[in-house]
Amino acid sequence: MRLISTFKGYKQDATHIVSFKLPYPPSVNNYYGRTRTGSVFIKKPGKEFRATVQAALAPYNLQPLQGKLRVWIEVFLPDRRKRDIDNINKALLDALTAAGIWVDDDLVTDLRLVKAGIEKELGGYVVVHIAEICSEKEK
């Protein structure tokens, strides 16, 4: 839960913005719930994760990004169980939106997740790299 070193992007059409380490997000199955009437709400694990992300990033006073973004996420799993890493996208992107990293997660036009290892002792974590995608004119 700290800002980490510069990530050198995997393409030349992006300018590095920021990289940081965050706790392992809840899966989409534990993030949302439904009431008897069908309304959707964020469950307690989702609210706690959002609050943790907001608290971790608040000291950096980052201004919300507003351009097209590339997000690369290194996923360090909490254990050896078989997991679909795409189940953590929603909680993570929503938490980053709530933390004010970007105006809205619809700005993410390139999203990649990579299983990077297993980290049992820390309960898993993710390293998020965000880059702003440059247009041909800006190069």
**pLDDT score for 133:** 87
Instruction: Supply the pLDDT for residue 122.
Output: 86
Q: Give the list of residues 6+ apart from residue 15 with CB closer than 8 angstroms, or none.
A: 131, 132, 134
The pLDDT value recorded for residue 18 is: 86
User: Which CATH class name applies to 14-138?
Assistant: alpha beta
**Residue ranges per structural domain of the chain:** 14-138
- How many C-beta atoms surround the C-beta of residue 115 within 10 A? 11
Task: Provide the residue-wise pLDDT of the chain in tens; the chain has 139 residues.
Answer: 344 444 444 455 567 678 999 999 999 888 889 999 999 999 999 999 999 999 999 998 888 988 899 999 999 999 999 988 889 999 999 999 999 999 999 999 999 999 999 999 889 999 999 998 876 544 4
* pLDDT tens, position by position, 80-91: 999 888 899 999
Q: What is the pTM of this model?
A: 0.83
Q: What is the pLDDT of residue 134?
A: 75
Locus of tokens 């000291």? 59
Percent of residues in the chain assigned helix, strand, coil, to nearest 5: 30, 35, 35
- Residue 64: other Cβ atoms inside 10 A: 12
